[in-house]
Amino acid sequence: MAGSAFVFDVLHDALGRQPSPPREVVIATAVAALLAVLIRPLWKVMRNFITIAHEGGHALAAVLSGRRLSGIRLHSDTSGLTLSRGRPNGPGMVITGLAGYITPSLLGLAAAAILGAGRITILLWLLLVLLVAMLIMIRNFYGVLSVVVAGAIIFAVSWFADAAIQGAFAYAFAWFMLAGGVRAVFELQQSRFRRQAPNSDADQIARLTRVPAIVYVGFFVLVVLGCLAFGVRLMLGPVESLVG
């Protein structure tokens, strides 16, 4: 009976609505996330979490488009590689290629929507489920380490932290994904401009479709900026409320 009561209490806390942090905390988490994206030494570390989302997006798109996922590798230089089997061209390859750079921002937007519904604990648990699913397909030690560390942080916050810490962490996560997704896309184009990334996602898709790579970079920019704009509205409300 005691065990059943414990499980019931845990599920009740997780499935129930949690109050959003005060506006000041939400803004503070936005500032902290922005600093993590703009300060280069911090970004070099934190970009690993963007890479996890990026490669996870490739993997999910590959599976949904009918390709067979072979494995995922994450590297210490924050690069990554997702391998899948199937036709070497066609819609499946294009969809898989398009998914990577937009996934962090889409994840951030989804997190913002879930937070707007007051489901902070559910968000943390969903992130854990996604990381566990990704861990199964990781094929190198650094990748395993990265995903396990990310999962351990989220688990510790969701299980041991109080509601205030959980809320602040969840908002910081959403802000970081939204802002980090923007920086990753602009870094992509910067590398392409310097001719340092001839095999970038945009260039690979361009070779498959015979459409200039800059068109796909533009698509990435539109998606990540759109997600950022909607995410700001979801987490801070209309602009009028900020000055009224």
206-222: pLDDT as tens digits: 999 999 999 999 999 99
Asked, for residue 104, whether it belongs to a domain, the answer is yes
Expressed in angstroms, the distance from the first to the final Cα of the chain is 52
Asked, for residue 1, whether it belongs to a domain, the answer is no
Asked which of 8-12, 107-111, 196-200 is least confident by mean pLDDT, the reply is 8-12
Nearest to 92, CA basis, from 58, 66, 59, 57? 66
Q: Which residues pair with 141 in a beta bridge?
A: none
Query: Does pLDDT of 239 surpass 50?
Result: no
Q: Nearest-5° angle of CA 77, CA 45, CA 236?
A: 130
Measure the CA–CA gap between 157 and 185, rounded to whole angstroms: 29
Asked, for residue 10, whether it belongs to a domain, the answer is no
Tokens, residue 203: 């260039």
Tokens, residue 69: 């996922």
* Mean per-residue pLDDT, 220-231: 98
Asked, for residue 6, whether it belongs to a domain, the answer is no
Asked which of 133-137, 149-153, 184-188, 238-242 is least confident by mean pLDDT, the reply is 238-242
Asked, for residue 11, whether it belongs to a domain, the answer is no
Can you give the residue range of the structural domain that contains 232? Answer: 19-243
Asked, for residue 9, whether it belongs to a domain, the answer is no
Measure the CA–CA gap between 226 and 187, rounded to whole angstroms: 18
Considering just the CA atoms, what is the radius of gyration of the chain in Å?
19
* Mean per-residue pLDDT, 10-26: 73
Asked, for residue 170, whether it belongs to a domain, the answer is yes
Q: Provide the pLDDT for residue 19.
A: 77
Q: Which residues pair with 138 in a beta bridge?
A: 72
The percent of residues above 70 in pLDDT, for the chain, comes to 91
Asked, for residue 43, whether it belongs to a domain, the answer is yes
pTM passes above 0.75: yes
The type of residue at 63 is V
Q: Provide the pLDDT for residue 161.
A: 94
- Dihedral over alpha carbons 177, 150, 65, 63 (to 10 degrees): -170
Query: Structural domain tally of the chain?
Result: 1
The type of residue at 132 is V
